[in-house]
Chains A and B, each alone.
Chain A
Amino acid sequence: YLSNVHCGWFQMGRLTVQNMNVLSFTCVFTLSSSPYDLLIITFVLVDWLLCNNRVEFTQLAADYKAVNLGQGFPDFSPPKFVQDAFCEAVRGGPQMQQYTRAFGHPHLVKSLAKFFSRIVGHEIDPFEDILVSVGAYQALFCAFQALVDEGDEVIIVEPFFDCYQPMVKMAGGTPVYIPLRPVSRAEGNSVLSSGDWVLCAEELASKFTPRTKAIVINTPNNPLGKVYKTEELQMIADLCIKHDVLCISDEVYEWLTYDGAKHVKIASLPGMWERTITISSAGKSFSATGWKVGWAISSGHIIKHLKTIHQNSVYHCATAAQEAVAHGFDREYEVFGSPQSYFQQLPAMLQHKRKKLAMCLDSVGLKPIMPEGGYFMVADISSLKVDLKDESSKDESYDFRFVKWLTKEKGLATIPVSAFYSPEHSKDFDKFIRFCFVKEDATLDAAADILRKWSSTK
């Protein structure tokens, strides 16, 4: 297994991918029951860090009892109604076990069209305007492969979910980065929010060139948790229309907004439906990431190109999972906006966990940036003075070294945020680490214990 993660910029003909994929770190910690699996987890962790940092870390390998707030998926189950729907689908008629419609199971695309037409304010054609994919990940892949060519530029807002960059490159495109920047705050006002991280209008405008094919936005954002406001989306939309550019909008966390923040779909702004590809995920909507059901919604003249990629890559997605997700959306359609809606209950539950984690982080001097949405919380580690005791890895970025130290010394696993930045900008953002709070209370309590013990030693 050690050879499967690649080191350095890996040239494979026209496919040049960055070595480190944050997901290979986060998805490692799925199975924590058998010793064999834990060993695998350790090897992958070791391997990942080895490849990126060329560091000795036998001690790190020995410590595999870390409380895991690094992995970006829930450690609790999906809601019962959707699990039941899956079981019913599997036990359903013979056609449930065989191929369904390639571009999306009819029941599912009809449910999605009905559900999202109401939200977007546009009549979505289930068969022309929707493509169901193997997770939002594959929808992103189809979008880039279908629409990006050699020589095209794609603007990526940083910090970005790390797959955007290799996908753009695999399509022969050139990523052009623009970072969200924290606005400076008045002294003494220490409550940071993801809403304080904004795009500078002039800087953004300067990134658009005659070669710009698309811009990728992610709202709510991973890792920061920023929920773009209408004015911010309007600024992006104006530029897209002015320069005739497509917008790929990754909205997998669309239901997870806190403190009254509103998720706005850029596709609903005037002039944007025909140039926006909106991507989302059943995995995140129903806390069932392992089902890998996602979709892209856009105007038919764009979706047809994604369909061509889809039909020449995986062709069909699993039938029963799609049937179950369709039932989930049927139910949510009926209870939309009411307290019975899972799309209300999930953020309400997470709001409380988010607050709890923020308080614990604060108590040890890890400055949380309160996320307006999403699964994650970023903490500023710059004011924390710790002796990282790692002379041998001084030239590696600070957050990577800190994460290693935190895993090793405190038994708490997180993700370094500079991993979500381009090589050009990662040095400017190496004082942040990312926590996932979509965890059951026992996990968060264990993390709180660690942090409490830590703060009591200060």
Chain B
Amino acid sequence: MASRHTHSKRIEGLDKNVWVAFTSVAADPTIVNLGQGFPDIPPPSYVKEALVKATSVDKLNQYTRGFGHPSLVKALSQVYGKVYGRTIDPFKEILVTVGGYGSLFSTMQGLVEVGDEVIIVEPFFDCYVPMVRMAGATPVLIPLRLKTGTSADWYLDPEELSSKFNSKTKAIIINTPNNPIGKIFTRDELQMIADLCIKHDTLCFSDEVYEWLIYRGHQHIKIATLPGMWDRTITIGSAGKTFSVTGWKLGWSIGPEHLVKHLQTVMQNTLYTCPTPLQEAVAQGLMRNYELMGQPECYFSSLAEELEVKRDRMASILQEAGMSPVIPEGGYFMLVDVTSLNQDLSHMGEDEAYDYKFVKWMIKEKKLAAIPVTAFVGDESKKEFEKYIRLCFIKQDSTLDAAETRKKNKKS
């Protein structure tokens, strides 16, 4: 092939990722898939029905407003207006995107420059690093460090964090609840980050797609509500995670107009508008639950209750199998320390981190899929994290039953 057909420099080294490596493997139906993060439980039926209804309305099959379907941005403005305790302008302070992923992309492309540095907390949802690099900037990593067993015991060292900020720092990305650990950042921790952002005049990109999946005894705090932070924060949410419809690929960015307008420019020059009927259906789902906020029937809280049971069940399955789970405070993933299994994988000769080998071995030998956690950290932190694998527990009971069987087989 002619050498002129080379790719652009911006994608150099960005072609591989953990999903490309593992999702096709786990597509085998004989494998119990606790790897990729999506539910196999059904979404609420009213949300599906709203979509069916939307497609029967002629105009809802055609283009809608580029930055977000009016009924959706208005619904978001109401729901989040209540959550934030401030008036949010639906047209200037919200952008609807193709999933939380699309919001991350619009944010990076809109606000991050060649030569900037962006601080990323490890372990991180794996797309942050390639997106920062694609924008021509440098990722600066800082690991959460462990004290003891629950996700609450992973913390950011204040001095270490402070040392990462300099004049080139454009933004810090935080994810709370965190994927994969499930940590929920406390008010104090967020205040520490906020203080640094204000001191260094840095932006904050807060990925809060799991914001409703908060387990008992914990509270989700939006960094954008801390003093001085609204004006420098983009907060990202997801319909897919909110309503258990990851295949709808709708998300949103909320922030001050002077930042959101740049994300809107990116949107205008990348895919222009998101699908209309899906946005209409999400709008209806949001408005219905807005009315129920604070009540037990509200899906925003009922889903978390449902998942807490599954979380606890998953944890006990793993403990019985001799492994050490990290109990998450939020989200739908659980980290598991597999050290105690003493699984010898030296026969798997490739130069790969232990967790990658372990997951491949587990898929092949135990028909159980997970995700290796070193996919979520930079090279320097691999040694600390290669004993962990990530399991997703937003699964039907029958899936968890099957997982239990595989685990029991593993133990023997």
Please report A residues at the B interface, Cβ cutoff 8 Å.
1, 3-4, 6, 10, 12-15, 17, 21, 23-24, 27-28, 30-31, 36-37, 40, 73-78, 83, 86-87, 90-91, 94-102, 133-135, 137-138, 141, 145-150, 163, 166-167, 170-171, 213, 244-246, 274-275, 283, 287-292, 301-302, 304-305, 307-309, 311-321
Do the beta carbons of A146 and B8 come within 8 Å of each other?
Answer: yes
* Selected contact of A73 from candidates B4, B23, B63, B114, CB within 8 Å: B63
Set A10, A91, A289, A313: member contacting B62, Cβ < 8 A: A289
Q: Is the Cβ of A141 less than 8 Å from the Cβ of B269?
A: yes
Contacts of A98 in B (CB 8 A): 38-40, 245-247
Q: In the docked arrangement, what's the CA distance between A309 and B14, Å?
A: 8
Residues in A whose Cβ lies below 8 Å from that of B313? none
CB distance from B89 to the nearest CB of A (A): 8
Given contacts A290-B60, A290-B62, contact A94 B42 (CB under 8 A): yes
Q: What residues of chain B lie closer than 8 Å to A40, measured between beta carbons?
A: 65, 70, 91
Residues of A within 8 A of B41 (CB): 94
Q: How far is the CB of A40 from chain B (nearest CB, A)?
A: 7
**Given A311-B17, A316-B99, A100–B247 Cβ distance below 8 Å?**
yes
Residues of B within 8 Å of A289, CB to CB, are 61-63
Residues of B within 8 A of A96 (CB): 247
| B134-A15 in contact (CB<8A) | no
For residue B172, give the distance in angstroms from its CB to the closest CB of chain A.
Answer: 19
In the complex, which residues of chain B have a beta carbon less than 8 angstroms from the beta carbon of A275?
A: 2, 5
Q: B271 an interface residue at 8 Å Cβ cutoff?
A: yes
Contact check, A12 vs B265: say whether CB atoms are below 8 A apart: yes
Q: B98 to chain A: which residues have CB within 8 Å?
A: 134, 314, 317
Contact in complex: B249, A30 (CB < 8 Å): no
- When distances are taken between beta carbons in the complex, the residues of chain A under 8 Å from B246 are 97-99
- A138, B270: Cβ atoms closer than 8 Å: yes
Q: Which residues of A contact B4 (CB under 8 A)?
A: 213, 244-246
Considering only residues 250-264 of chain B, those with a C-beta below 8 Å from chain A are 250, 257, 261-262, 264
* Nearest-Cβ distance from residue B409 to partner chain A, whole angstroms: 26
Q: Which 7 A-B pairs have the closest CB atoms?
A: A290-B276, A319-B247, A1-B91, A138-B271, A305-B7, A77-B58, A314-B98
User: With contacts A135-B273, A318-B250 known, what are 8 further pairs, Cβ within 8 A?
Assistant: A15-B265, A87-B56, A98-B245, A141-B269, A275-B5, A289-B61, A308-B11, A314-B105
A141-B271 in contact given A4-B264, A90-B52, A97-B245 (Cβ < 8 Å): yes
Which of B17, B40, B63, B131 has the largest number of chain A CB atoms within 10 A? B63
List chain A residues, Cβ under 8 A from B131: 312
Given contacts A27-B66, A313-B105, A314-B101, are A135 and B271 in contact (CB under 8 A)?
A: yes
User: Is there contact, CB below 8 Å, between A37 and B70?
Assistant: yes
A135 touches which of B20, B105, B261, B272 (Cβ 8 Å): B272
Taking a contact as CB atoms under 8 Å apart, the answer to whether A301 and B5 are in contact is: yes
Complex interface residues of chain B between 85 and 125 (CB less than 8 A to chain A): 91-92, 98-99, 101-102, 105, 109-110, 113-114
Contact at B102–A313, with CB atoms within 8 Å? yes
* Smallest CB separation, A247 vs chain B (Å): 11
User: Hey, which chain B residues are within 8 Å of A145, CB to CB?
Assistant: 8, 10-11
Complex-state Cα separation, A166 to B272, whole angstroms: 12
Number of residue pairs across A and B with beta carbons under 8 Å? Answer: 234
B116 to A, closest residue via Cβ: A13
Question: When chains A and B are docked, how far (Å) is the Cα of A166 from the Cα of B268?
Answer: 10
The reply to whether B99 and A315 contact each other, CB–CB distance below 8 Å, is yes
CB neighbours of A77 from chain B (8 A) = 58, 61
The yes or no answer to B46 lying at the interface (CB within 8 A) is no
Cα of A134 to Cα of B96 in the assembled complex, Å? 14
Contact B271 A99, beta carbon cutoff 8 Å? no
* A312 in contact with B275 given A97-B43, A163-B269, A291-B61 (CB within 8 Å): no
**In the complex the two chains form, is A99's CB within 8 Å of B91's CB?**
no
Which residues from chain B contact A245 at a C-beta distance below 8 Å? 4
Sample (12) of A-B pairs whose CB atoms are under 8 Å apart: A6-B265, A12-B262, A14-B113, A14-B136, A24-B66, A31-B59, A99-B36, A134-B275, A138-B270, A145-B10, A288-B61, A290-B277
For B79, the chain A residues whose CB sits under 8 A away are none
- Cβ contact within 8 Å between A13 and B114: yes
Assuming A13-B113, A40-B70, A97-B48, is B274 touching A309 (CB within 8 A)? no
- With both beta carbons as reference points, the residue of chain B lying nearest to A106 in the complex is identified as B27
* Distance from B137 Cβ to chain A, minimum over Cβ atoms (Å): 10
A321 CA to B250 CA in the complex, in Å? Answer: 13
Contact A27 B269 (CB under 8 A): no
Minimum Cβ distance to chain A for residue B103 (Å): 10
- Report the bound CA distance from A288 to B261 in whole Å: 28
Report the minimum CB–CB distance from B40 to chain A (whole Å).
Answer: 6
Asked if B278 CB lies within 8 Å of chain A CBs, one says: yes
In Å, the complex CA distance between A137 and B66 comes to 12
Distance of A40 Cα from B74 Cα, bound (Å): 13
Q: A320 to B277: give the CA distance in the assembly, Å.
A: 11
User: Would you give the shortest CB distance from A139 to chain B, in whole angstroms?
Assistant: 9
Q: Does B64 contact A (CB under 8 A)?
A: yes
* Minimum CB distance partner of A213 in chain B: B4
Docked pose: A10 CA to B268 CA in angstroms: 13
Q: Which residues on B sit within 8 Å (CB–CB) of A288? A: 61-62
Known: A73-B62, A148-B8, A305-B7. A318 touches B272 (CB 8 A): no
- Chain A residues within 8 Å of B351, by CB: none
Chain A nearest CB: distance from B401 CB in Å? 17
User: Is A91 a contact of B48 with CB atoms below 8 Å?
Assistant: yes
Query: Pick the contact of B114 from A10, A14, A36 — CB < 8 Å?
Result: A14
CB distance from A62 to the nearest CB of B (A): 21
A333 to B10, CA, bound (A): 38
Asked whether B15 is an interface residue with its Cβ less than 8 Å from the other chain, the reply is yes
With A98-B38, A138-B270, A317-B98 known to touch, is A3 a contact of B261 (CB < 8 Å)?
A: yes
Q: Are B66 and A1 in contact (CB under 8 A)?
A: no
Contacts of A90 in B (CB 8 A): 48, 51-52, 55
* Bound-state Cα–Cα, A73 to B61, Å: 10
Contacts of B1 in A (CB 8 A): 274, 301
Nearest chain A CB to B169 CB, angstrom units: 16
The CA of A26 and the CA of B317, in the complex, are separated in Å by 56
B274 to A: closest C-beta gap in Å: 7
Query: How many angstroms between the C-alpha atoms of A202 and B249 in the bound complex?
Result: 47
Which B residues lie within 8 Å of A167 (CB)?
Answer: 269
Contacts of A15 in B (CB 8 A): 109, 265-266, 269
Q: How far is the CA of A91 from the CA of B55 in the complex (A)?
A: 13
Measured CA separation A41–B222 after assembly (Å): 33
Contacting A at CB under 8 A, from B216-272, are 244-250, 257, 261-262, 264-266, 268-272
> B residues 8-58 with Cβ under 8 Å of A?
8-11, 14-15, 17, 19-20, 23, 36, 38-43, 48, 51-52, 55-56, 58
